Amino acid sequence: MAAETSLNDDPQQTLVLQEGRKINDEYYIVGVFENQETNHITFAAFELENSGSYQYTVTLSQFEELFANDPELRASKNKDARYHWVIMRLDFASDGSGGRKLVLGATPSPEEEEIGVPSSLGTGRMTYAERQRLRYETERLDEKRAQNIAAKSDKARKAFLMELQERRKMEQLKAAARQKRIEEERAERREQAVLEKRLKEERLQLYKQNDDKRTKAIHTLETDRARRDEQRIRGLIEEDKQRKMERKILIDEAKQRKRDQIEAKRVQEKEQAARLAALDTRRDEAIHRRKLAHNEREKRYLQSRQQAIDELSKQKQLKAERKAQYLYSKSAERAKRLKEEHEKAAEWERLEDQRTQAELKREHDRNMMMLVRIEELKSNKEAADMELKARKEAALERRRIQDKQHLETVAQEAKRVQELEEKRARQIASREQVRDQRNQEYVQRILDQKAQQATRAKEKAKQLSSTRDKTRDDQAEKRRQRMEEELRLADLARRRENAIAEREKKRDQGELSKVKDWKEQQDKKHLELEAAKMQKRLQEKEQAQRQQEESFEKTKQWQALEQKRVQNQETKEQDRSKRETSRMQKS
């Protein structure tokens, strides 16, 4: 194919994918070509029966926008899946001039329903085993879908090859019939050529006597024509010189305007750069001051925190010393009491039993308090787990409802596409019927024309035989008519040359206007690109400033939380000290 060869021979075009595609009941080879220099992607559909092709070209940014809402195809690593997604949506539309062009449709071609996809995801009341099974099936859904896609691709490829073979056989039969018809027409043309040759020889014999007169007349006409052509050529040369001079003046004026615009733009860029530099300097100074203040606050906070930690350690040490002194005094009193009551063994045993029972009771109370605390923590943990589980189940239920609604929408869309496909098939069938009828009418018309040509040939032969019997006056009349026809043709050729010159002049003016429009578009694109770059730099600076402010706010929040944590820790230590003091006093 000529179009495919030109795309493949172009060093800037790279073929990255090629697939078979059925569009409007006709098979095409769709190739994807990438142009790295211009950042363009071209989808070309090549016909199988001839060298025709249709192209659909998009830029790289437009190609990326097609997958902005698709999380699976948004990643650039899924290139083949992206190209397949676009190929499945290619369709034909009218180009406004009686032809058709390749466009990107809103929906893909209808395909068979995938096997293995659950019709609904409703769970209702399910056991843990059923939920586990459903989760396992959902995880294997992608694998099943890939298998189904591979099976359908293989099936479509086989169907495509079978239909291609049938079409090739049909084309071979058509070519054989066409070759036979060509041979018959060629034989008829040979017979007609022999007849025309004989007639030409007779005509030359008739015209041979008047060749000298005709040659002189033609020489005179040619001399006049050469003189007129020379005058016209000189006029065209003068007009071309004048037009070139005007074009040069216009180009010089455009260059001067361009230089003035570039100079004004350069001055504006310098002023903008100076403003941005001053702004960056002020911003850096503000950031430096904030950083110094933040370091000072952090240093004060660390000092206060270290003082608090030292104070807590001192309190703990004093508490331990008082506790040891208290225990020592108690142990001394106990030893004295034991020594004094050594002789009273029975009384001592009774007191010992009471003390042991009190110790056991305190130990039991402490254990019960710990059990109550543990039970409370367990109950809180279970309540939190139950709440988290309820939220998860609610989220899963919402997700199931959304998936169900999505599947219903997809089913409705598939039904609508199927109805459109059936309607299209009916229209195609009606068009095929009309086309067959037209073909039959065309064949009948060709046969009628051949019969009429044969009749006219016979009549012409009769007329030629009758012309031999005409007088010399008729021949002179014919020669006069021929001379008038030649003069009319010469006048027609002159008018044609004038029209060609006028058309070339208009074409040159159109080319000049196109060049002007192209230069204006290039200047406009350059200005837009510079404005986009400036806007991007400003956005990056604003984003950096915003990130610094967010970091400062996070640091501030962390300090507040740290201070609150220290206060809570101090409160807990005070409560614990109070409990220890009260327990010692009770004992």
CA distance 102 to 94: 9
CA distance 319 to 312: 10
Q: Which of 244, 273, 292 is the last residue of a domain?
A: 292
* One-letter amino acid of 198: R
For residues 353-375, average pLDDT: 79
Residue 113 is predicted with a pLDDT of 40
The secondary structure of 499-540, three-state, reads: HHHHHHHHHHHHHHHHHHHHHHHHHHHHHHHHHHHHHHHHHH
CA distance 131 to 28: 46
CA distance 90 to 70: 18
Domain membership flag for residue 445? yes
Let me know whether 442 and 574 are in one domain: no
Q: Say if CB 110 and CB 425 are below 8 A apart.
A: no
Let me know whether 366 and 248 are in one domain: no
Let me know whether 143 and 225 are in one domain: yes
Residue 470 is predicted with a pLDDT of 67
Coil, helix or strand for 100? strand
Residue 419 is predicted with a pLDDT of 84
Tell me the CA distances in angstroms from 488 to 62, 213, 548, one per residue in order: 59, 19, 89
What residues form DSSP beta bridges with 57? 42
Q: Say if CB 61 and CB 52 are below 8 A apart.
A: no
Q: Which of 395, 429, 458 is the last residue of a domain?
A: 458
**For the chain, what is the domain count?**
4
Q: Which of 400, 429, 458 is the last residue of a domain?
A: 458
Residue 1 is predicted with a pLDDT of 42
Domain membership flag for residue 212? yes
Domain membership flag for residue 342? no
DSSP 209: G
More confident residue, 404 or 48: 404
CA distance 217 to 362: 148
Residue 465 is predicted with a pLDDT of 66
Q: Say if CB 20 and CB 27 are below 8 A apart.
A: yes
Q: Is residue 3's pLDDT more than 70? A: no
Let me know whether 278 and 153 are in one domain: yes
Let me know whether 170 and 271 are in one domain: yes
Let me know whether 95 and 13 are in one domain: yes
Residue 438 is predicted with a pLDDT of 78
Domain membership flag for residue 483? no
Q: Is residue 116's pLDDT more than 50? A: no
Measured torsion, CA atoms of residues 282, 284, 288, 291, in degrees rounded to the nearest 10: 120
Domain membership flag for residue 510? no
Domain boundaries, position 268: 139-292
More confident residue, 35 or 111: 35
- Confidence band (pLDDT; 50, 70, 90) for 11? low
Let me know whether 252 and 212 are in one domain: yes
Domain membership flag for residue 338? no
CA nearest to 457, candidates 189, 212, 248, 201: 189
Let me know whether 163 and 105 are in one domain: no
Let me know whether 258 and 154 are in one domain: yes
Q: Is residue 115's pLDDT more than 70? A: no
86: tokens are 């676009």
Q: Is residue 121's pLDDT more than 70? A: no
Q: Report pLDDT digits (tens) over 204-220.
A: 888 787 778 878 888 88
CA nearest to 527, candidates 265, 214, 352, 172: 265
Q: Is residue 63's pLDDT more than 80? A: yes
Q: Report pLDDT digits (tens) over 537-548.
A: 888 888 888 888
> Residues of the chain with pLDDT > 70: what percent?
91
Q: What is the mean pLDDT of the chain?
A: 79
Q: Report pLDDT digits (tens) over 285-331.
A: 888 888 888 888 888 888 888 888 888 888 888 887 888 788 778 77
Let me know whether 160 and 263 are in one domain: yes
Q: Report pLDDT digits (tens) over 457-499.
A: 778 767 766 666 666 777 778 778 888 888 888 888 888 888 8
Q: Report pLDDT digits (tens) over 382-438.
A: 888 888 888 878 878 887 788 788 778 877 887 888 888 788 888 888 887 887 787
Angle at 16 between CA 13 and CA 18, to 5 degrees: 110
Residue 7 is predicted with a pLDDT of 62
Domain membership flag for residue 337? no
Strand order in the sheet with 40-47: 13-23, 26-35, 40-47, 53-59
Which residues have C-beta within 8 Å of that of residue 319, sequence separation ≥ 6?
577, 580
Phi/psi for 97 (5° steps) reads -120, 25
Helices 211-340 and 472-586, packing angle to 10 deg: 10
CA nearest to 282, candidates 541, 49, 568: 541
Residue 5 is predicted with a pLDDT of 46
CA distance 35 to 37: 6
Residue 124 is predicted with a pLDDT of 45
Domain membership flag for residue 146? yes
Residue 109 is predicted with a pLDDT of 63
Which residues have C-beta within 8 Å of that of residue 518, sequence separation ≥ 6?
none
Residue 122 is predicted with a pLDDT of 43
Coil, helix or strand for 47? strand
For residues 28-53, average pLDDT: 83
Helices 141-207 and 128-139, packing angle to 10 deg: 30
Q: Is residue 120's pLDDT more than 50? A: no
365: tokens are 């109370």
Residue 258 is predicted with a pLDDT of 84
Q: Is residue 164's pLDDT more than 50? A: yes
Q: Say if CB 44 and CB 52 are below 8 A apart.
A: no
Residue 119 is predicted with a pLDDT of 38
Let me know whether 171 and 287 are in one domain: yes
Q: Say if CB 92 and CB 100 are below 8 A apart.
A: yes
Q: Is residue 361's pLDDT more than 70? A: yes
Let me know whether 180 and 281 are in one domain: yes
